[in-house]
Each structure stands twice: as C-alpha cells, then as structure tokens.
Amino acid sequence: MSDQKLPSRAEDFSEWYNQLVLRAELADYAPVRGCMIVRPYGWALWENITAALDSRFKATGHVNAAFPLLIPRSFIEKEKSHVAGFSPELAVVTHGGGEELEEPLVIRPTSETIIGHSYAKWIQSYRDLPLLINQWNSVVRWELRTKLFLRTLEFFWQEGHTAHATLPEAEFETRQMLDIYTDFAVKEAAVPVIPGRKSDSERFAGADQTFSIEAMMGDGKALQAGTSHNLGQNFAKAFEIRYLDKGGVLQHCWTTSWGLSTRFVGAIIMVHGDDQGLIFPPRLAPIQLVIVPIFRTDEEKSSVLECAHTLRKELAHAGIRVKLDEREGSSPGFKFNDWEMRGVPLRLELGPKDVAKGSVVLARRDRPGKEGKAFVAQQGIGAAVVQLLEEIQKALFDRALAFRKANTHETADYEEFKTAVEKGFAFSWWCGKAECEAKIKEETKATMRCIPLEQPGGSGKCVHCGDASTEKAIFARAY
C-alpha cells in the first residue's frame, strides 16, 4: 500500500474512487483496455454478494444453469429492438482454428437469445411452466468510456431468465425480482435504493417494461444498481417459445430477465466510503474484524500473540470473518491505517495491559477516533462483536439514507430542478413524453432515473414543459 494520502472525496471524487479501488486491492487494470482483473479481496466481496442473492433466488424457486459464451450472430438479429440496442456494443468472433467462420459468433452481451433458443426446445406444455433459471457468468459489451467495477468491457453478474404461461405471472416475477434486489441492497449492503419503472427511452432493448433500483452515490450522482425486465412475448415470438395450454391450444410464453452485476461493488464503495478509504457493511465485508497485536519485547509478543490466537478462534467459532494481522516489520499505526483504508468494520487492538486486564479495545470503522473506541471484556467477546457488527450495519444504512434525503429535492419549477440535479436527485412531476425527457438531458445532463413505485398521488405540472402530469420521477446525473 502506498503511504501517500488518498485525494479527498470533496476535492476529486472520481480520482478518490479510482485510487481506492487500486490501493485497497479490489481490482487492477487488465492488458486489454476497458477490462479489469478482480483481485482476491474484491472477489471475496463479490462472493458474499453472490451468496446473499443466490440464497434469495433459490428460496423463490429459481435454479442455476450455465449457457454458452458464444452466440450465433443470427440469434442476436432475431429480435429487432434487441439487435438495435446492442449492435454498437457487440464483440464479434470471425475466425476460429485459423479459418474464417461460416457465421460470425457474438460474445454474449446478455443471454436472452441463446436462452430463448433453448427454452423453445425445452417447453412443450403448460406442465413445463414456469421455467425459472438463473446463471452466474461474465458478459462483454464494447464500452467506450470505462471505470473499474462501474463500467467495463467484461463484467461479472447474474442474469435470470424465466418463462411463464400468462402475462400476470410474468408481471409478478418481474416485480418479485425487483423486490429481491431491493431487499438485498437494504439488508445486506446497507444501501438505500429507490425501486421504480424506467421510461420508454431507458427501457432494456426488447422489453415491454424495465424496472430498476436506483442509488445515490456519495457525490450525489445516481447509479442504476439492478434491473428487472418484463419481456412480454417479444422473445417468445422471435424464438417460437410456445406451449400447449390446458385446452390443447398452442400459446406463446411470456418471459422475463433480470440482472445485478459487479457494478454493485462500485455502489458499496461510493455510498459508504470516506476520505480514509473503504467502509464495508459488516454483512458483506470479506473481513469483519481484524486483530492487531501490540507489543515491544519478545516476552510481550509471546503473551499477546497467544491471547490473540485464542480470541481469533473464539471469534471464528461465533461465525465472524476474522483475521489476525501478524505481519512483521509493520507498526501498529501502519496496520490501523491499512485496515481502515480496506474498510474492515471492526478492529480489535490487543496489548500487554489488555492481556493482563482480560479486555480488548474495539474500534469501529464507521466512527473514526475516540468516539468509535470501547474497552470490552475478553470473556463473551463473540456475542459482543456480533451485536456491534449489527449496530454498524444499521448505522451505515441510516447514514446513507439521511444523506439521500438531504440531497433529494421536490422541485417546484425548472430553475429549482436545475439546481437540484447539480448536487443530487430532483423528484419532480413529469409528463412522460420522450421529447421532454431528451430536452431535460440536453439542457441539464440529468437523466430520468426511474418513476418510483411509491407515488404521492394526485397530479401536477411537468417540471419542464408544464403539461399535466400524474406521476413524479427521479432525475439525476448518473454513472
């Protein structure tokens, strides 16, 4: 780790983020421009994210599978709006085994087409429905402007794909998965999100409706953190995904797709981090507690390390992800700063006096300095740490929610709107017209993030054109 201080978030939020990702060893740049190498510490965080989501998917009847990386070009071209939406981002393989291929192959940007092809073979009758499959994989989209975790050519994610007998079942699935993403973001990541519907122009290519969860980052910008799409019968008709209903009539299925990617790692960094570095929510933190032994002499070293090993075992037995920092040649002060930068929620300091007294010092990452320190008895340390981690989890969510509320403004007119989107979210009446949305983007650089599911009711005048409006939308500048 470099001893040089990170740029402050206020001074240069973007550079603070870039340097933090590299210094905390979450990821590194790959030799191919726009790609990233996820390092073990970053992958451990992603593993905890995948575990939290995977258990929720399985609890709602979904199963995992794996579909191919390479897709025939003709598959992508079957659904017209899909190919129009993704064509600029496609990576295409034209040669294999030293020869030109008869048909070019696309490296999957998403898997609706290859899965649609498979579902057409697998689904024959209403008895085969619903079909609820998820896969964990990576996809490639040829992005021009990239940023580690937030937008890379190749990224890791999960993509769920389901087929149903009726439109109401597909609608239920679309909203259920949005609710699962919301629950995960709030409970596991301590990230407050706004679930809502995307505008027609922001809809996924090939979907009838797209829903998303939108989060406010520490600089007031928005991040789309997960999406759920009702695909209607568009892909079912393109790939002939049909079933015989109970009356023996052949019907097209109704399908959905939904995904959450490694950009959520970026959300966690930008929502919770401070000028000292990362702050991980305890439920997802790769390491929940680090033990830093403090000693001067060999005699002190022996007794402190013996006690530290005992505490480590006890904490691990209590289900806590714990690390004992036994690095030689590094001072306790260096270790404190290093683990603070890496976002570990709790630090346990143990010196000779603590060993003698049967106590330890616990330091909270979310409250730097004396305010976050407490002396705790070694006896019953596991239960004390579990409780403290829960307190930190709640405190992080409450702080993030308070920040979002303080930087979200209900705007009475367009001048207020323009001021609001410079610093955070504008919650404003909107007419729903694409030309109005495009003008707002052109004039303010703010996009319509979502129409929140939770609406105030009533009606008002569109913040831009003044036409009658029945819904309020969230507008913001975004990543």
CATH number of 408-476: 3.30.110.30
Q: In what order do the strands lie in the sheet with 99-107?
A: 70-72, 99-107, 91-96
Q: What is the pLDDT of residue 316?
A: 98
Please provide the distance, in angstroms rounded to a whole number, between the alpha carbons at the two ends of the chain: 27
Q: What is the pLDDT of residue 84?
A: 78
Percent of the chain with pLDDT over 70: 99
Rounded average pLDDT per 10-residue block, the chain, 479 residues: 81 98 98 96 98 98 98 89 82 97 96 96 98 98 93 97 98 98 98 98 94 98 98 96 98 98 98 98 98 97 98 98 97 97 98 98 95 96 98 98 98 97 98 97 98 97 97 98
**291: nearest Cα among 329, 332, 261:** 332
Q: In what order do the strands lie in the sheet with 222-232?
A: 63-64, 131-140, 154-164, 254-261, 222-232, 209-216, 193-197, 447-452, 471-476, 425-430, 408-410
- Domain residue ranges of the chain, discontinuous segments joined by +: 13-272, 289-391, 408-476
Q: Is 289-391 CATH 3.40.50.2030?
A: no
Q: What is the pLDDT of residue 111?
A: 95
Q: What is the pLDDT of residue 1?
A: 47
Residues 6+ apart with CB under 8 A from 130: 162, 163, 164, 165, 169, 173
The one-letter amino acid at 382: G
Write the CA distances from 39 to 46, 143, 270, 285, integer angstroms. Answer: 10, 22, 19, 15
- DSSP letters, 421-437, are HHHSEEEEEE---HHHH
Q: What is the pLDDT of residue 291?
A: 98
In CATH terms, 13-272 corresponds, of 3.30.930.10, 3.30.470.10, 3.40.50.150, 3.40.1380.10, to 3.30.930.10
Q: What is the pLDDT of residue 3?
A: 62
Q: What is the pLDDT of residue 192?
A: 98
